[in-house]
Chains A and B, each alone.
Chain A
């Protein structure tokens, strides 16, 4: 089966750092993605990890541990515009097909 867990909501202060965790269980694994989604808008790609370790991209970093089925998204120097939902998605390999399966998302509220 497939299971992706993220916290439902998080709150942080402008200028601070926040870490959003994601744990997953899938029958196969071919990469983990993070997307940002503002309410009523399309998800936009943030990062991709397929090997263990940290990927840094400006204010955003993403970490993966395949043995633990764990990832996190780190957002630094938070800005008000970072208030959005953050979606963890795993590319699940099975039955000769690749599906991108999403968690329910973490709603982040950035306060002044």
Chain B
């Protein structure tokens, strides 16, 4: 158990809908990262937050947005869902934004299936 908690674990929804994925980082971790992993694909970096502020942006679609709240939990919002958005979405956390050697720990992921 990495200490990173993600909900829901599984989600099935229809095209055009909107969903919210939730992440609670490890206790004491200030940085939260979101990754997308499609079937048999690598991990694609979406976005990173540090202590409530956006710090880095990857290949995140405009239909997607995220935020980190004062209690450090984070939410990833996916809207106007398409079939291609079906994937495993991982949240990860680390203690600080950029300390050398700072390990990033992953949650179990949220399986999203768009039908």
Contacting A48 at CB < 8 Å: which of B44, B58, B103? B103
How many chain A residues sit at the interface, stated as a range, is: 20 to 34
Contact residues in B for A104 (Cβ distance below 8 Å):
41-42
Q: Are A98 and B45 in contact (CB under 8 A)?
A: no
Residue on B nearest A48 in the bound complex, by CB: B101
The prevalent SS among residues of A at the interface is: strand
How many chain B residues sit at the interface, stated as a range, is: 20 to 34
Q: Are A98 and B58 in contact (CB under 8 A)?
A: no
Q: Are A87 and B42 in contact (CB under 8 A)?
A: yes
Q: Given A31-B100, A31-B101, A41-B109, 11 other A-B contacts at CB below 8 A?
A: A33-B103, A35-B106, A41-B108, A42-B106, A43-B106, A97-B56, A98-B55, A99-B48, A102-B35, A102-B44, A102-B45
Interface residues of B (CB under 8 A from A): 2, 33, 35, 41-45, 48, 55-56, 58, 88, 90, 92, 97-98, 100-101, 103-109, 111
Interface residues of A (CB under 8 A from B): 30-31, 33, 35, 40-45, 48, 50, 87, 89, 93, 95, 97-105
